[in-house]
């Protein structure tokens, strides 16, 4: 897995601050989408997030995604074109 660039690191920081996760992976998948619509010439436009946090307890999947999108709103608006999300609580199995 490659190191995160500045956008990925900002995403990671925002998610840690918003959710205090027990597990967090921010994966830059931009290379797989080079040349596709929405791909940024400098990369860091397509990400996958895997996050486990107590904050998702009792929340349906759609609300979990909304919570994450809200925490990353500025980055999603300005730079990130695509975001795949897996959001679970510590009690949920993968």
Over its C-alpha atoms, the chain yields an Rg (Å, rounded) of 13
Residue 78 within a domain: yes
Which residue, among 90, 74, 17, 21, has the nearest Cα to 49 in the 3D structure? 21
Q: What domain count does the chain have?
A: 1
**DSSP 8-state assignment for residue 2:** P
Q: What is the mean pLDDT of the chain?
A: 87
- In which domain, by residue range, is 72 found? 61-89
Residue 18 within a domain: no
pLDDT at 34: 55
pLDDT (tens digit per residue) in 3-48? 888 999 999 999 999 999 999 999 998 876 455 555 445 557 789 9
Residue 76 within a domain: yes
């Amino acid at each position: 897995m490659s190191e995160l660039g500045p956008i990925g690191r900002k995403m990671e920081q925002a998610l840690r601050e918003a959710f205090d996760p027990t597990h967090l992976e921010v994966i830059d998948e931009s290379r797989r989408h080079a040349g596709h619509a929405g791909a940024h010439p400098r990369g860091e436009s397509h990400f996958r997030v895997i996050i486990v946090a107590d904050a998702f307890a009792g929340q349906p999947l759609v609300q979990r995604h909304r919570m994450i999108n809200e925490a990353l709103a500025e980055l999603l608006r300005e730079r990130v074109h695509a975001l795949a999300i897996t959001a679970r609580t510590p009690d949920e199995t993968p």
